[in-house]
Amino acid sequence: MDAQVTRLRGKEATRERILQAARTLFGEHGYEQVTIRMIAAAADANIALVGRYFGSKAGLFGAVLEGEPTISALFEGGREGLPRRLAEYAAERMKHPPDSPILRALERSAQHPEVREVARERLIGAVLQPLEAQLGGGPEARARARMATAVFLGVGAMRRRLGPETPTPADIDRLTAVFEACLAE
């Protein structure tokens, strides 16, 4: 029995080493430039284990994304003030690219065929569904959450194309009004 427990710990440790190596390499080089062979070498793991634990490079990228920050902290405090918190978060995205190298890699690689589905699932699981749940499932909660999510995506697309820009207090007020309109029943 002790050998089985040790083996499980070994599997967990190997899986975690692979995740950490992938996080580092994807963050440094982007999705396209990193190979499974590079990840396995950096993790000091057999290349076959990457496939066994994660299925594919895209599956591994998805697992790495699961460890990234989400907008869930914006929901603390409930629905009261939510449009303003969302606006302030979106305004922060106008000023800076994501802090996380993984989220920057995701932005760069979002149109890659292998990443597209992973990115879609991440967007649904980390933004759309939590926002929909925050709205309490009221009338058209999914559509309202989808519109608010579209605003986030638009802010990110604008920053990528035009460069960072510091929002004014009036910009935050406008974004608050947009989020209020998106989330209204």
pLDDT at 9: 58
Question: Going by C-beta distance under 8 Å and a sequence separation of 6 or more, which residues neighbour residue 97?
Answer: 104, 107, 159, 160, 164
Tokens of 103: 């989220």
Q: Indicate if 111 and 51 belong to the same structural domain.
A: no
Domain C-terminal end among 56, 82, 99 = 56
CATH (domain of 38): 1.10.10.60
Q: DSSP character for 168?
A: P
- The mean pLDDT value for 81-107 works out to 83
Q: Which domain holds residue 167?
A: 71-183
Whether 107 is in a domain gets the answer yes
Q: Indicate if 36 and 103 belong to the same structural domain.
A: no
Structurally, how many domains does the chain consist of?
2
pLDDT at 138: 72
Q: Indicate if 51 and 75 belong to the same structural domain.
A: no
Distance, CA of 148 to CA of 155 (rounded, Å): 11
Q: Is 130 exposed, middle or buried (0-12, 13-18, 19+ CB in 10 A)?
A: middle
* pLDDT tens-digit series, residues 125-146: 888 988 998 888 777 999 999 9
